[in-house]
Amino acid sequence: MGKSDEGLKEQIVEKFNIPEELAEVLIKKGVTNIDLAEATFNPVLENLQPPSTLPNLYPAVDRILRGVGKKENILVFGHEDADGITSTVILLKAIKQLGGNASHYIPSKKNEGYGLQPETIDEFKRRGVQLIVTVDSCSSCIEGVEYAKKAGIDVVITDHHELPDILPDTYIVNPKVGGGSFRYLAGVGVSFKVAWELLKLKLGWDLNEMRNNLPEFFVLTMVGTIADRVPPFCENRIFINEGRKLFDWFNSPYLKAYESYKKQKPSIENLISIISAGKSTNGENVGVKLLMAQDPADAEEYLIPILDAIDKWQKTTQELLEEAKKRVKRVRDYIVIDMENVEPQYLGFLASQLKDAYGVPTIVLGRKSGGKAVAEVRAPYGFNSLDVLNELSHLFIDYGGHAPASGFSLDECDVPELIEELEIYFKNNPFNPGMPYSDLEVNGSKNKFFFESLARLGELGVDLRVLFKGVKLGEIKENLKGLSVIDTESLLDLYPADKSVAILLVSSPQGIRVEKLLV
Q: Which residues pair with 434 in a beta bridge?
A: none
Query: Which CATH code fits 51-250?
Result: 3.90.1640.30
One pLDDT digit (tens) per residue for the chain, 519 residues: 666 789 999 999 999 999 999 999 999 999 999 999 999 999 999 999 999 999 999 999 999 999 999 999 999 999 999 999 999 999 999 999 999 999 999 999 878 877 899 999 999 999 999 999 999 999 999 999 999 999 999 999 999 999 988 999 999 999 999 988 999 999 999 999 999 999 999 999 999 999 999 999 999 999 999 999 999 999 999 999 999 999 989 889 999 999 999 999 999 999 999 999 999 999 999 999 999 999 999 999 999 999 999 999 889 999 999 999 998 877 778 999 999 888 888 999 999 999 999 989 999 999 887 788 999 999 998 889 999 999 999 999 888 888 899 999 999 999 999 999 999 999 999 887 666 789 999 999 899 999 999 999 999 999 999 999 999 999 999 999 999 999 999 999 999 999 999 999 999 999 999 999 988
- Rg, Å, the chain Cα set: 24
Residue 343 is predicted with a pLDDT of: 86
Residue 369 is predicted with a pLDDT of: 76
Q: Do the two domains 51-250 and 328-428 of this chain adopt the same fold?
A: no
Q: Which residues pair with 74 in a beta bridge?
A: 102, 131
Report helix, strand or coil for 408: strand
Question: How far, in Å, CA of 67 to CA of 63, rounded?
Answer: 6
Single-letter amino acid, residue 286: V
pLDDT in tens, 164-188: 889 999 999 999 999 889 999 999 9
Q: What is the β-pairing status of strands 284-285 and 512-518?
A: unpaired
Sheet holding 512-518, edge to edge: 440-443, 465-472, 500-506, 512-518, 485-486
Residue 378 is predicted with a pLDDT of: 96
Give the closest residue to 362 by CA, choosing from 392, 385, 393: 385
Single-letter amino acid, residue 284: E
Q: What is the β-pairing status of strands 280-281 and 284-285?
A: antiparallel
Residue 434 is predicted with a pLDDT of: 66
The CA-to-CA distance between both ends of the chain, in Å, stands at 32
Number of Cα atoms under 13 Å in the Cβ half of residue 385? 30
Instruction: Count CB-CB contacts under 10 A for residue 150.
Output: 10
Residues 6+ apart with CB under 8 A from 97: 199, 203, 214
Single-letter amino acid, residue 15: K
Kindly report the CATH class assigned to 328-428.
alpha beta
Residue 1 is predicted with a pLDDT of: 61
DSSP code at position 364: E
- The answer to whether the CB of 272 falls within 8 A of the CB of 220 is no
pLDDT in tens, 374-384: 999 999 988 89
Residue 43 is predicted with a pLDDT of: 98
Number of Cα atoms under 13 Å in the Cβ half of residue 266? 24
Question: How far, in Å, CA of 516 to CA of 114, rounded?
Answer: 37
Residues 6+ apart with CB under 8 A from 419: 336, 338
Give the closest residue to 47 by CA, choosing from 202, 177, 233: 233
Question: How far, in Å, CA of 486 to CA of 503, rounded?
Answer: 14
Q: What is the 3-state secondary structure (H, E, C) of 416-476?
A: HHHHHHHHHHHHHCCCCCCCCCCCEEEECCCCHHHHHHHHHHHHCCCCCEEEEEEEEHHHH
Residues 6+ apart with CB under 8 A from 264: none
Question: How far, in Å, CA of 90 to CA of 101, rounded?
Answer: 14
Q: Enumerate the domain spans of the chain.
A: 51-250, 328-428, 440-518
Q: Is the dihedral of CA 285, 287, 292, 296 positive or negative?
A: positive
